[in-house]
Amino acid sequence: MIDFHTHMGNMLRHKWPQLGLWAPQLIDRMNRQGIEISVLLPCESPEASYGYFLTEQAMEARDMYPERLIAFMSVDPRMPGFAEQIDHFYKHGGCKGFGELIANLPFDDPRNKVIYGKCND
């Protein structure tokens, strides 16, 4: 089984600031639930959650368990240099896809269109 939508980190820090789901705990949960592979989806926009899960954290977890975890990337299109970040995460970080995109922007915002074009490439 593949879990194609996985977040890590301390995504609920407003409720439980001392708790989080990190790579070893995720692998333990995957083992208990019969999940062979998880795709890690970072959340880098403030609207995404009550905490951040950075692309670099997804890559670090993937490097710890490369047979079990696949790192995707995320960027906030409102931040300077977001297009170059996508190129870097793909070419040098080994990220296999993009997700999640949860910035509070219209679907057809020109900055989102840059992301769509990069994903199409």
Domain spans of the chain, in order of start: 2-120
Average pLDDT over residues 30-43: 96
- The pLDDT, as a whole number, for residue 44 is 87
Nearest of 41, 31, 32 to residue 98 by alpha carbon: 41
Pick the residue with more confidence: 22 or 36?
A: 36
Cβ neighbours of 103 (radius 10 Å): 21
Q: How far apart are CA 7 and CA 16, in angstroms?
A: 16
Cβ neighbours of 84 (radius 10 Å): 10
Give the predicted TM-score (pTM) of the model.
0.90
pLDDT band at 13 (very low <50, low <70, confident <90, very high): low
H helix runs in 1-121, sequence order: 23-33, 55-64, 82-91, 110-120
Average pLDDT over residues 67-86: 97
- The pLDDT, as a whole number, for residue 75 is 96
Nearest of 41, 39, 42, 45 to residue 109 by alpha carbon: 45
Domain 2-120 has CATH 3.20.20.140: yes
Indicate the pairing of strand 2-6 with strand 37-40: parallel
pLDDT at 17 over 80: no
